[in-house]
Amino acid sequence: MSDTPHPLEEIASALGDKAPNSIKEVVKVLNELIVKLVEATTEIKTRNTQPSLLKQRCKR
């Protein structure tokens, strides 16, 4: 492994005492964004499959 610090470690050292809470907050926000992205992607996939189902029904 290299001796270069991980980018989050660099940020933590730059922020000093506030680092643990700041990083926790960033991780929390990123997790919320990931959840929203997954929900939006699922909704888009659902919307995209519904019209094709309607087309199949109309062809019958």
Tell me if 33 is assigned to some domain. Answer: yes
Considering only 8-12, 21-25, 38-42, 51-55, which range has the smallest mean pLDDT?
A: 51-55
Tell me the HSE value of 57 on the side-chain side, using a 13 A CA sphere. Answer: 6
Mean pLDDT of 54-60: 62
In a domain, 11, yes or no: no
Per-residue confidence (pLDDT) for residue 37, from 0 to 100: 92
In this structure, is residue 7 part of a structural domain?
no
Instruction: Give the total number of structural domains in the chain.
Output: 1
Residue 10 lies in a domain: no
At 49 the pLDDT is: 72
Query: Has residue 12 been placed in a domain?
Result: no
pTM above 0.85, yes or no: no
Q: pLDDT (tens digit, 9 = 90+) per residue, 14-48?
A: 766 665 677 778 888 888 999 999 998 888 888 77
User: What residue numbers bound the domain in which 41 lies?
Assistant: 22-59
- Residue 55 pLDDT greater than 60, yes or no: yes
Q: Which helix or strand (DSSP H or E) is residue 49 part of?
A: helix 19-59
